[in-house]
Amino acid sequence: MKRRITYVQRPDAPFEPHQANLASTGLSIRDLDAAREDRITIELDDLPEELRTVLQQSRGLHLRWATERPYDAVAPFASRVSPGLHVHFTPATPDQPTEALCEVLRTVFGTSEGDQYGVDCSKPEDSFITPPPLSTKFGASTSLQFYTRLPSLQSLVGFIRRTACHQTEGGSAECHDHADSLLSADSVDIDYDNTSHTLTVSGLWASSPEGGWTEEIKKPASKADQIEFGLLGAEKGIEPEEIKMGGILAVVGKDKKFKPTMFSFPSRNHPLSEPGSYTVSFPPPTGLHPTMSISMPRSSLKRPPAPQDTTCALHTYLTLPSTVFGDQYQLATTDPLFLESHNLVGLRAFAGETDLEAPDWVVQRWGSNWLFELATPSEDSVAVTSTSSNWTVTIPLHLRYLQPSESGYRSTHVPWPVVFWACTSDDDTKMGVNPFERANLGWDGLFGPRTLFYQLHPSSDRLVEDLDVPVLRLQSDGLFQARNIELGTCAVIVLGFLWVLWRLVRVAWSSGVGSGAAPRRAKAVHEKKQ
């Protein structure tokens, strides 16, 4: 097992040499103000049997989880996904059975029962969606996608405690502490590489706990294990697509002193030089046709510091559960009046459940994804307008019919979308190696390999919107009881059928009578002429 612990400090964060101490038995950190990434790489043979079987049937498996709490994404960890669990899966062979994947996901992340959020998945062919064709154009290998709301990683922590920590000799307490730390993480990534046959688990804490990071990192008990440590600072590189990092590195238990380092690498994801923010809301009354409103200060809409030869456009990527959907025919329009009224440039890609009539209980797949290009005000308007003025984009959506309830309402949840600048160039060559690369986010595969992304950060205490959906009320007083409505509907259908049947009989009878009278009239006319 290999472990990489990276602390990234902001330029204004204080640091004293005594805050990091390296010894032959381990390494200690004291009151460190920094973002933290903890990455563990595990060999396939060291995994539980049920998990190893699923991975061997996969050509690629990438899981992305993000918290519903707001957090600051700093370089080189600037990329974002909507809060919840995102699964990107490619089977090893197209016709290979994959039911075991859903079973493992339910075991690791829990099941969706009652008020408990988890994985509601039978098999990928029925529950997953196929990405838009654009992802294939730019070489993305993922063939199936899945999403579910998952506010907590409690089930994952319990799974790690039962499996990985149970196999640890003499370090179960330390393993439990590492597993429990995931409960406070801002994002967690799990990647399987079928080339090296390794599983990588990465946790990100975008900010330090109160008082800073304080921990003891012990020397690995086994010589086969390795712990790499880095304390770094990030800043803009010489080239616009580069990130430059410098600081100190060490291999715990092997190095006797820290090694200074300075390096740079190309990155697709960058923070904005001037922070940009956005908020999401559904103005009331929502009814069955809510409108998502994305509001941004005009000061957040300045062109990002991308190369001048690139074309930059503002985008948003929506992740909608099955209870909420968009009308592809309405949103894909090129009508300038509609687009201008919503501050949209156009719908660029969509995938998933888009049936306009299906109620939620017959929808098998988890939902849909939507990529929009957003209109922005002119640069002159941004410069002269007050910073308190907001630029608002609206996206009309629809709610599916849900099961009846006693109150007449059911609740559904919509995660906040990600909003970002995408700066594209005509050069389709791939970038160099990025040691902190985070790919397979869902939206990144819809752009060319040299596209640069600049993320706006969400501004709220909670990155999920709750919607009350009006449904049939099970128990109500008076005429509009559910039973009465059901009986009335059946009666109307029966009466309608009888009426149609009666009209058909009358038409048939009239045609029969007319066919006998016509020859007699024709004969009388003929005789009269004679």
Peptide bond into 336 cis (omega under 30): no
List Cα–Cα distances, 217 to 5, 26, 32, 37, in angstroms. Answer: 10, 6, 14, 14
Q: CA-to-CA distance for 304 and 274, rounded, in angstroms?
A: 8
- Residues 373-394 have pLDDT tens digits of 999 998 766 555 555 589 999 9
Same domain assignment for residues 102 and 1: no
Q: Are residues 284 and 155 in the same domain?
A: no
Q: Report which of 349, 287, 352 is spatially closest to residue 316, judged by C-alpha positions.
A: 349
Does the residue 425 lie in any domain?
A: yes
Element at 331 (helix H, strand E) = helix 328-331
In a domain, 530, yes or no: no
**Cβ distance 131 to 352 under 8 Å?**
no
Structure tokens at 384: 């002269």
Residues in the chain: 530
* Lookup: tokens for 121: 């998945």
Cis peptide before 285 (omega within 30 of 0): yes
As a whole number of angstroms, the distance between CA 327 and CA 333 comes to 10
pLDDT at site 344: 97
pLDDT, position 134: 66
Report the helix count and the strand count for the chain, using DSSP H and E: 11, 27
pLDDT below 50 — which residues of the chain? 525
Number of domains in the chain: 4
How far is the C-alpha of 258 from the C-alpha of 230, rounded, in Å? 9
Is residue 41 in a domain?
no
Judge if 332 and 358 occupy the same domain. Answer: yes
Nearest to 84, CA basis, from 107, 63, 101? 63
Q: Look at residue 141 in the predicted model and tell me its pLDDT.
A: 54
Beta bridge partners of 246: 233, 262
Q: Are 290 and 238 members of one domain?
A: no
Q: Is residue 527 part of a domain?
A: no
For residue 386, what are the contacts with CB-CB under 8 A and spacing of at least 6?
Answer: none
Domain boundary among 146, 164, 195: 195
Q: Verify that 288 and 402 share a domain, yes or no.
A: yes
If one counts every other C-beta atom within 10 angstroms of the C-beta of residue 149, the result is 20
Whole-angstrom distance, CA of residue 289 vs CA of residue 227: 53
Say whether both 116 and 64 belong to one domain: yes
Record the pTM. Answer: 0.87
Phi, psi of 36 (to 5 degrees): -135, 135
Residue 46, by phi and psi: left (phi above 0), alpha (psi -120 to 50) or beta?
alpha
Q: How many CB atoms lie within 10 A of CB 451?
A: 21
Query: Rounded to 5, what percent of the chain is helix, strand, coil?
Result: 25, 35, 40
Q: How far is CA 294 from CA 81, 278, 372, 432, in A?
A: 16, 7, 12, 34
Say how far apart CA 22 and CA 353 lie, in whole Å: 54
Residues 137, 350: Cα–Cα separation, whole Å: 14
Residue 503: partners with Cβ closer than 8 Å, 6 or more residues away: none
Q: Do 319 and 459 belong to one domain?
A: yes
Task: Identify whether residues 70 and 118 lie together within a single domain.
Answer: yes
One domain for residues 63 and 185? yes
**Can you read off the two tokens belonging to residue 376?**
């922005």
At residue 164's C-alpha, the angle toward residues 158 and 170, to 5°, is 110
Within this chain, do residues 106 and 142 fall inside the same structural domain, yes or no? yes
Residues 6+ away with beta carbon under 8 Å from 478: none
Do residues 152 and 301 share a domain? no
Task: Find tokens 């960890």 and name the residue.
Answer: 77
- Preceding omega of 76 cis (within 30 degrees of 0): yes
201 assigned to some structural domain? no
Using DSSP, state whether 513 is helix, strand or coil.
Answer: helix
Would 72 be classed as within a structural domain?
Answer: yes
Q: How far apart are CA 120 and CA 148, in angstroms?
A: 8
418 plus 310 within the same structural domain: yes
Predicted confidence at residue 76, as pLDDT, reads 92
Q: Can you give the residue range of the structural domain that contains 438?
A: 277-470
pLDDT at 376: 94
The CA angle 110-113-117, to the nearest 5 degrees, is 55
Residues 6 or more apart in contact with residue 12 via CB below 8 angstroms: none
Torsion of CA 503, 509, 512, 513, to 10 degrees: -120
